[in-house]
Amino acid sequence: MSRRAEGFTIVLASALAAFGVTLVNFADGGSVDAQTALTFLVFVIAFGALFVATETWAPRASSLLLAPVAALTAIGFLEIYRLDPERAGLQRWWLLIGAAVAAGVLYLLRLGSTEILRRYRYIILLISVVLLLLPNLPQDWAFPLKGLEVNGSRLWIVLDVGFSPLSLQFQPAELAKLGLVAFVAAYLADHQHALRQAHRRIGPIRLPEPRQILPLLITWALSVLILVSQRDLGASVLLFASFILLLYATTGSAGYLVSGALLTFLAGYAGYRAFDHVQRRVAGWLNPFENFTDAGYQISQGLFALGSGSLSGSGPGLGRPDLIPNASTDFIFAAVGEELGFAGTVAVLALYGLIIAVGLGIAFRSRDTFRKLLAAGLTFVFGVQTFLIIGGVLRLVPLTGITLPFMSYGGSAFVGNLVLVALLLRISHEEAR
């Protein structure tokens, strides 16, 4: 795809978001109003600015990333606006903020390339761990920055400066996971040869020397334990799965996949025994209709929504996705299935598949080991997150409580995913150059 075609597709995605808002207004008995024009303007400004930033500071980057991201954001915004117009207004602000942050990342990396992430990997690791610890701040102390507990999990921080904290909530793990991926990619790039020369055996599994792998395992285990202590089990699974996939990409040893799957099962069982809300989620996942009035209600309503969508859906604003608890965050894929039908869900899956394929293509074509592993790690994070949330909606895996990239409501996740795309764009540019 040429840059001109990419820019045209971004404009089409902006028009799609505005047209979706108009259809929702019509379904509610309204008409074309300022929300339509405002939505189109915000999308054009945000993605247009990111397009210009890419053309200026990463001109050789792949032209196949921004267009599907804009399309997914448009489809997600349509459903968010249909479910909660107030949240849709906030989402527009987060779109502008995320685009500005992503453009800033491209601007900063033009000075020293992504190699700067490798050079300062330990500083990035320290910042990432601090970010993970921030939600543990007391909720009742005098300092404006406070931790926030929601539904039994401490995932958020709030900057309370005397006005409404709704727009000032942030989930620091969304940025911390990117820093951890950068650190692991740098560490594996430096120790790739030693890790491949596995001299220890445990049955059929070959393992590297402990002094090579132990520092990395300790760092990653500490990060996962912090998240588990905060009951953020979705982010824990996401980071652990991405870590195992990166180890496999570095060494080519299938033993890491086997041992990772075993450890995931054991950790999942331990979490099931330790946390009541995990037990409820598993019960709702296995028997949603038998637990319809309790843990199975959300999953059951999501399945009803997907089933009622048929081939083309009921149309924006004409379904009842509002019956699904947390539809604009956890279950937005089910809302798309009801109002846009099977065709809409296939389109969404195709867009996600395109982004993942482009990300892995950037990794495969990279000649520098660090950039190869960084692109692979970022793509793994994106792909695993997408699988976990869509798989949870479809009952392939238990619900994890994480958001669907670019589609679900959530400012911190949106900003983090746009930064992820900016890093992939920069890697693509450096390798093409």
pLDDT, one tens digit per residue, over 315-369 is 888 888 888 888 888 899 999 999 999 999 999 999 999 999 999 999 999 999 9
389: helix, strand or coil = helix
Q: Read off the tokens for 55.
A: 């053309």
Residue 111 CB-half CA count within 13 A: 6
pLDDT > 60? residue 165: no
Q: Which residue has the tokens 């040869």?
A: 193
Whose structure tokens read 């074509």?
365
> Per-residue pLDDT for 406 more than 50?
yes
**17 — pLDDT class (breaks 50, 70, 90):** very high
How would you classify the pairing of strands 145-150 and 205-207?
unpaired
Buried-exposed string 218-229: b where 16+ CB fall within 10 A, e elsewhere: ebbeebbebbbe
Q: Is the pLDDT of residue 130 over 50?
A: yes
Residue 108's pLDDT is 92
Residue 239 near residue 219 (C-beta atoms within 8 A): no
Q: What's the pTM?
A: 0.90
Distance CA 66, CA 97 (A): 16
pLDDT at site 154: 67
CA nearest 301: which of 316, 286, 288, 311? 288
Residue % of the chain over a pLDDT of 70: 85
Rounded to whole angstroms, how far apart are CA atoms 41 and 15? 9
Mind giving me the DSSP string for 125-165?
HHHHHHHHHGGGS-SSSSSSEEEEEETTEEEEEEE-SSS-G
* Cβ 175 vs Cβ 131: under 8 Å: yes
Give the whole-angstrom CA distance, residue 222 versus residue 378.
20
For 10-47, give one letter per residue: b (16+ CB within 10 A) or e: bbebbebbbbbbbbbbebeeeeeeebbeebbebbbebb
pLDDT score of 236: 77
